[in-house]
Amino acid sequence: MAPAKPTVKAAPKKANAKLSELDILIEKHAKATKLLADAKAENAKHPFILCPLLSLEEYEDEDIAAPPKKKARAKAAPIPDTFEDDAMAGFIGADRVIASGDASSSPVPVVSDEEEDEEADNDLPVLIDTEDMVIEEPAGKPIASRKAAYRKVSRVTQSTFSPASARLANAGRFVVHVNIATGDGFPADHADFSWKAVSEAAAASAATELADRFAMAEKSEEHRGQLINYAWGGAAQLRGEIKTLCKAAVDLYGIPRNFTQAEIVGHVKFLNGKKGIFKYGGIDLAKQTYDVHQPFGAPFYPVVMRKQWFDNLKAEGVRTSAFERYIDSPVPTLTIITGATENSLKEWATGVRIQIKFTEEEFAPRYHHHRAALLTLQTRSPTWFGNFQRELYSQIVSTSNFAHLKRIISPPDGDELDGVDFDALEASVTAQTTPDAVPDAPSTTVTDA
C-alpha cells in the first residue's frame, strides 16, 4: 500500500488591499465621529466660550487638504543709482565732481558667500509695537532709549516703501555704510545711529521730496521704525562684504594652498597671537619673523580697501557724495578691516576652515581693541602715522582710473605758479589789515615768452 501523501497546509490568504483600506477609513470615520461628539459635549458645558466646530465632512477633508499657497511678494521697482547720488549730494559739504572712470572698470563687489547673506539677514530684526516701533538686537536686548512691548513682523525691504520713501531709505542706508566705515564700526545704539544717518541723508539732499518724507517719518513711529530698520541693514551688509574680501585675503599668507593642516595650525597661532603679528609687514612664516617697524603694514590692507571702496564708480570711496570721507585711510576703515581679517584667520585655527560668523557680540570688543592700538600709534608717532595713512591712500588711488581721486594726491603743476611772489601776496594782506600805509610793491608782471 502506497504511503499517504503529507498534507500541505495552504498559506493564509493575504487580506484584500481594498478591504484593509476600507477598514482604515471606517476606523478613521468612527474616531472623527467620537471626537466631534466629545467637542459638542464640551461646548454644551461652557456655552460662553465660542468654539467653532467643523462638520464631520469638513474635519475629514481638512486632514488631507493641501496647504494654502503663499501670496507672492510684489517686487519693488528698482531705484536708479542717480537717486542715491542726488539724495547724497552735499552729504560731506563738497561740490559735486564728475568722476571720470574707465568704462572697463570691474563690477561692484558682490557677496557671493551664502553664509554671509544669511548673517546679514539675521542681523535685520524688525520689531514693532502696536503703538510704537523700536529696534532690538538679534540676541533680544532692547535699545534702552525706547520702552515698549515688541512683537516680530515681516522684514523691511524696499517693497515696504513708496518710491519717494524708498529713495530716503536707500540714502539713509548709504550714509550708514559710510559712517560704519569711517566713523564707528560697532555703534552702541543702533536706532539712534541709523536715525541720524537718515536725518543726514535728508538734510544733505537738494530734493525737497526727501525732506518731506523725513518730516512725515518724524510724526509716524511706524514709518520711522521702518526707515531705521532698513538703514541699519546696511551695517550687516557692509560687514559681510568686508568679511568676504578678508577671507579671500588670507591667501596672501599662503593659507591654505602652501601648507599642510599641521603647518596651518602653527602659522595661525603665530599670526593671531597676543601681539597680533598678522597686522605687520615683512612677515616670514617659515622663519616665524616679522618687521616690528611696519605696524599695520600687512599686504591685505590695500587689497581689501581697493576692492571694497575704490573698485568702481559706485563704490563709496569713489562716489562724489562721499569720497572725501575716505581720503588718507581713516582709522575706522583700517580698524574694521583688521577685525575682519583676524576673524578670517581664526577660522583656520584647526588647519581646516570652520566658519565663525562676524557677529557683533563677539567682535565689537576686538574692533575697539584694534582701534585703540591704531589711536595709540597715531598719538605717539603722529608724523609717521600721518605719512603711513597718506601713502596707503596714494598707493590705492594711483592705480585707479578715477581722475578726481588722482588730483587729490597730485600736487599742482609747478608751471602754473611760476613767477608768483608768495611773500608779496602775504604782505599785501597784512597791509590791508594794518592802519599805517605800506608802499606799493614793485611791479612783478611777467611776460610769457
User: What pLDDT score was predicted for residue 23?
Assistant: 73
Query: Would you say residue 115 has pLDDT above 60?
Result: no
Domain total in the chain: 2
Contact status, residue 201 vs residue 172, Cβ threshold 8 Å: yes
Please compute the mean of the pLDDT values over residues 65-73 and round it to a whole number: 44
User: Which pLDDT value is given to residue 6?
Assistant: 54
Statement to judge: residues 315 and 397 lie in one domain: yes
Q: What is the pLDDT of residue 58?
A: 40
pLDDT beyond 50 at 412: yes
Write out the three cell numbers for 410: 597730485
Confidence category of residue 415, pLDDT binned at 50, 70, 90:
low
Report pLDDT for 423. 86
Q: How many CA atoms lie within 13 A of 148 on its CB side?
A: 16
Is residue 73 included in any domain, yes or no? Answer: no
**Residue 104's pLDDT is what?**
36
Judge whether 211 and 205 are in contact, CB under 8 Å.
Answer: yes
Q: What is the pLDDT of residue 433?
A: 62
224 with 289, same domain? no
Q: 14-23, 180-189, 392-401 — which is least confidently predicted? A: 14-23
Best-predicted range by mean pLDDT among 1-10, 104-113, 291-300?
A: 291-300
Please check the confidence at residue 446 and state whether its pLDDT lies above 50.
no
Give the pLDDT confidence score for residue 132 in this predicted structure.
32
- The 3-state secondary structure of the chain, one letter per residue: CCCCCCCCCCCCCCCCHHHHHHHHHHHHHHHHHHHHHHHHHHHHHCCCCCCCCCCHHHHHHHHHCCCCCCCCCCCCCCCCHHHHHHHHCCCCCCCCCCCCCCCCCCCCCCCCCHHHHHHHHHCCCCEECCCCEECECCCCCECCCCCCCCEECCCCCHHHCCHHHHHHHHHHHHHHHHHHHHCCCCCCCHHHHHHHHHHHHHHHCCCHHHHHHHHHHHCCHHHHHHHHHHHHHHHHHHHHHHHHHHHHHHHHHCCCCCCCHHHHHHHHHHHCCCCCHHHCCCCECCCCECCCCCCCCCCHHHHHHHHHHCCCCCCCCCCCCCHHHHCCCCHHHHHHHHHHHHHHHHCCCCCCCCCCCCCHHHHHHHHHHHHHHHHHHHHHCHHHHHHHHHHHHHHHHCCCCCHHHHHHHCCCCHHHHCCCCHHHHHHHHHHHHCCCCCCCCCCCCCCCC
Per-residue confidence (pLDDT) for residue 44, from 0 to 100: 58
pLDDT over threshold 90, residue 150? no
pLDDT band of 86, cuts 50, 70, 90: very low
> Of 65-79, 110-124, 277-291, which one has max mean pLDDT?
277-291
Amino acid at residue number 130: T
pLDDT of residue 274: 87
Residue 119 lies in a domain: yes
Is the pLDDT score of 338 beyond 80? yes
Which range among 114-123, 318-327, 426-435 shows the weakest confidence by mean pLDDT? 114-123
Quickly state the pLDDT bin for 321 (edges 50, 70, 90).
confident
* Residue 228 and residue 274 in one domain: no
Would you say residue 233 lies in a domain? yes
Q: Are residues 223 and 301 in the same domain?
A: no
Cα 347 from Cα 357, distance rounded (Å): 9
Instruction: Decide if pLDDT at 43 tops 60.
Output: no
Which range, 22-31, 58-67, 143-152, 337-346, has the best average confidence (pLDDT)? 337-346
Structure confidence by residue, pLDDT tens digits, 345-382: 999 999 999 999 888 888 999 999 999 999 999 999 99
In a domain, 436, yes or no: no
What's the pLDDT at 4? 56
Domain residues for the domain of 366 are 255-412
Judged against a pLDDT cut of 80, whether residue 59 lies above it is answered with no
The answer to whether position 7 is within a domain reads no
| Residue type at position 392 | L
Q: Indicate if 221 and 266 belong to the same structural domain.
A: no
Same-domain status, 392 and 329: yes
Closest CA to 301 of 330, 323, 274: 330
* pLDDT value at 439 more than 90: no
How far apart, in whole angstroms, are the C-alpha atoms of residue 349 and residue 370?
20
191 lies in a domain?
yes
- Say yes or no: 215 and 161 in one domain: yes
Q: Are 302 and 222 in a shared domain?
A: no
- 417/7: higher pLDDT: 417
Mean of pLDDT values over 172-191: 95
pLDDT at 173: 96
Examine residue 94 and state whether it is found in any structural domain, yes or no.
yes
Residue 9 reports pLDDT greater than 70: no
Are 116 and 232 part of one and the same domain? yes
Domain boundary among 243, 263, 294: 243
Q: Residues 58-86: what's their mean pLDDT?
A: 43
- Domain membership of residue 38 (yes or no) is no
Phi and psi at 9, nearest 5°, equal -75, 135
- Tell me, yes or no, whether 261 and 186 share the same domain: no
In this structure, are 104 and 169 located in the same domain? yes
Same domain, yes or no: 339 and 269: yes
Between residues 5 and 403, the one the model is more confident about: 403
| Residue 177: all three cell numbers together | 555704510
Give the mean pLDDT of the chain. Answer: 75
Lowest mean pLDDT among 35-49, 99-113, 250-264, 378-392: 99-113
113 has pLDDT over 70: no
Instruction: Tell me what the mean pLDDT of segment 403-420 comes to.
Output: 75
